[in-house]
Amino acid sequence: MEIVLVGLNHRTAPLDVRERVSFTLEQARRAADELRSRGLLEESLVLSTCNRSELYGVPPEASHECGPELSSFLSEFHSVRPDVLNGLLYQHYDRSAVRHLFRVSAGLDSLLLGEAEILGQVREAYRFAHEQGATGPVLNRLFQGALETGKRVRSETELGTRPMSVAAAGVKLAERIFGKLADRTALVLGAGNVSEQVVSTLRDRGVAHLFVMNRSRDHAEALARQFGGRVLDWGNWETALLAPDVVVSSISAEEPVLLRTVLEQAMAARSNRALFLMDLGVPRNVELAAADLYNLYIYNIDDLSEIVEQNRHARESEVPRAEAIVDEHVGKFLSWQASVELVGLVEALRSRIREERAAFIRARLDGMNHLAQADRERMETLMDELLEKLLVEPAERLRGEKELRRKIQNVEALRDLFLRHREKP
């Protein structure tokens, strides 16, 4: 056992427990220090996001399952009673721990399948732990592998490409019409939660100008302040609809607010420049009859939800390809790990033989008084040469042949066979 993982996520633990065992950066640093000073882990790394808290580590001694100790460490560190965490924590070792991390990094373990943020969070957690000196050769290699897996899954599959929220789908659609939104203008009608999500996404995509219009000016001003926009007076449609390329509407009103006549005038005033209208109001804010106006693209909440649903199916169908990439990288990592361990094992074997050779030869040559000193030395050299030859060749082959390393999966067995009761090299 080389790598251990203890943690919980959105699937195993409710939000209030996740909150209690989450780590700030400072806590992550302190945890790593304590784990090392207590001799629990040689290398350690804390991955803490809103959906998961995970502790990755390399224990100092092989063949010792330290999961339970790490679990009690977690409850002690966060002052949570152990029975609260009972059944919520998972423990993984070696292959299963590697696989877990690579799936996390690929977005396969996320609440929102294929979401992109997790890769950044893994990168950040690794960078921090690395800077603090908490990681070592094994975790360095492990997390580099995880980042590589995440990047490949993102570039080679469509797991993360399609928008998965109504806000993101709407903004992506606007990009289908206008291309990059960098020099575009957006108008937000209504200042509720839904508007906020869309505005945030629009700002992320670099929309240049933002206008907010709401019945209550206070709410409009709050939203405008938050995202750096300007407030327009309610009801002045002709001016309001002149500049924007994208209009997001989520007004709570019984009847449509944007009537066909209003939009017809607005389109004429803007010389029919294309307008994308995201109608998120229920009941709808835009009169249905406006749909046939030239260069006007209207999407309501159902249209956008349908796109999100289609995208969810599309993402799910990409899972097998993503899993295949994960498996490939898990194999790669394990083969690297085996090669390091095997080379270490052969080195240990050589130093053991070197240690024992002198005493062994002396004992065997004791009774052979007829041999001259030169002959004794000659025999010692011959024996050295033989031992070297026997050991150097397999060591070279282990370094050079990937397939051979893959075949020798159980290094522990070899270590037991040749180096029983001796310390790990």
Partner 1 sequence: MPHLFLFLTILAYALSLISYLRFLYAGKSHAGRLGTVFLGLGLVAHYFALLERSRGLHTVPYHDLYGSLSLFGWLLALTYLGLEFYHRQRSVGAFVLPFILLFFLAAHLAGAGSDRLPPTQAHGVVFALHVTLSILAYAAFALSCVLSSIFLLENRLLRNRHLGDIVWRLPALDLLERMSQSSVLIGLVSIAVGTVLGFVWVDRLTGQYWYYDPKYAVTLLVLLLYVVYFQLSRTSNWRGARASRLNIFNFAVVILSFTVVNLYLSHSHRYF
- What is the set of active-site residues? 50
One of 178, 234, 336, 418 touching partner 1 (CB under 8 A): 178
CB closer to partner 1, 59 vs 114: 114
**Binding string to partner 1 for residues 231 to 270, with x set by CB under 8 A, is what?**
---------------------------------------x
Using CB under 8 A as the binding rule, whether residue 307 contacts partner 1 is answered as: yes
Using CB under 8 A as the binding rule, whether residue 308 contacts partner 1 is answered as: no
Using CB under 8 A as the binding rule, whether residue 272 contacts partner 1 is answered as: yes
The stretch near partner 1 (CB under 8 A) out of 88-96, 233-241, 295-303, 394-402 is: 295-303
Task: Let me know if 84 is exposed, middle or buried by CB neighbors in 10 A (0-12, 13-18, 19+).
Answer: middle
Q: Which residues from 326-365 bind partner 1, rule CB under 8 A? A: none
One of 274, 383, 408, 419 touching partner 1 (CB under 8 A): 274
Using CB under 8 A as the binding rule, whether residue 273 contacts partner 1 is answered as: yes
The stretch near partner 1 (CB under 8 A) out of 5-13, 133-141, 272-280, 373-381 is: 272-280
Using CB under 8 A as the binding rule, whether residue 310 contacts partner 1 is answered as: yes
Using CB under 8 A as the binding rule, whether residue 56 contacts partner 1 is answered as: no
CB closer to partner 1, 182 vs 382: 182
- In this structure, are strands 43-48 and 52-58 parallel, antiparallel, or unpaired? antiparallel
CB of 155 to partner 1, least distance (A): 7
**Binding string to partner 1 for residues 146 to 175, with x set by CB under 8 A, is what?**
---------xx-x--xx---------xx-x
Using CB under 8 A as the binding rule, whether residue 305 contacts partner 1 is answered as: no
CB closer to partner 1, 93 vs 297: 297
**Binding string to partner 1 for residues 86 to 125, with x set by CB under 8 A, is what?**
----------------------------------------
Using CB under 8 A as the binding rule, whether residue 317 contacts partner 1 is answered as: no
CB of 326 to partner 1, least distance (A): 18
What residues make contact with partner 1 under the rule CB under 8 A? 155-156, 158, 161-162, 172-173, 175-179, 270-274, 294-295, 297, 299, 303, 307, 310, 314
